[in-house]
Amino acid sequence: MVEKEITSTAKNIFDLKYKRNQVYFNARKIHLFGKDFLELLYPQLSNKHFKSYAEVENQLRYLKIHLCEILTNIELKRKGSLSNKEKICQNFLKQMPKIQESIDLDATAIFKGDPAAQSLDEVITCYPGFKAIAIYRIANVFYNMDIPIFPRILSEYAHQLTGIDIHPGATIGKHFFIDHGTGVVLGETCLIGDNVKIYQGVTLGALSVSKGLQNKKRHPTIKNGAVIYSNATVLGGETTIGEDAIIGGNTWVTKSVPAKSIVYNKNEVKLKKNK
């Protein structure tokens, strides 16, 4: 009886998932691409140490081949998209210097902004916020090239590594700092300026998750220099946190906050009455 059930289940799985000879992307290969790319830029994260520029060039060629294979297995439905995978790879490689510059600025912001950080090497190897932002910078390039699912899988890889969930569609400026990071959620249509600092547990989310809002701005705008402390929740596409504003921990914000404002919860202490 058990053998018959196994045979029946196997046939059912094959008919549903394999019979049409559909080509499937491999999420683990996308994770590996993100890992290899980050390790190439930051050897502190890798067990590979290249001894010449020729070895670096070979690794870049390997990454290009790997990326083209991944793009081949992703169903790019737009006309000519499969034939354009080579152009997509070339476009990404051209943007590598800009990506590295952005990530370097983020690492510097973390180092300068955290008194506990002793060196950039410590930031790169030990700070989950750095890894999450770095992978976001990579994923965002593919998102802006309108590549389906690939950037989401990259960002989910960062989520699994760090506990930080940054949608690849978010727009994030320079010198971005996520401290600690666990539980941070940054939605797809967030607009985040330069020199913004965010602590663990912060949510920049939507007031509504209606499917009808799919192509509209649902998430807040955070202006330059704002600081949002742990477990604060800021919601809504029309909500703007002004420049250099401070949002205190455990606050709930659904309306815009002017520049240089401070928002906080008022603590109240009451003494117990003696019975």
Kindly report, residue by residue over 200-214, the tens digit of the pLDDT: 999 999 998 777 777
Domains of the chain: 21-163 (1.10.3130.10), 170-266 (2.160.10.10)
Res 257: pLDDT: 97
Neighbours of 123 (CB within 10 A): 23
**Residue 82 above 50 pLDDT?**
no
Kindly report, residue by residue over 148-159, the tens digit of the pLDDT: 899 999 999 999
CA distance 102 to 201: 24
* Contact (Cβ atoms closer than 8 angstroms) between residue 241 and residue 226: yes
pTM passes above 0.85: yes
Return phi, psi of residue 156, to 5°: -70, -30
Query: Could you tell me how many helices (H) and strands (E) the chain has, helices first?
Result: 8, 14
Kindly report, residue by residue over 16-25, the tens digit of the pLDDT: 877 765 656 7
Query: What average pLDDT does range 127-146 have in this prediction?
Result: 96
Percent of the chain with pLDDT over 70: 94
Res 17: pLDDT: 78
CA 29 to chain centroid, in Å, comes to 17
* Contact (Cβ atoms closer than 8 angstroms) between residue 125 and residue 45: yes
CA distance 19 to 146: 29
DSSP state of 190: -
Query: What average pLDDT does range 129-147 have in this prediction?
Result: 96
Look up tokens 């800021």; give the residue: 234
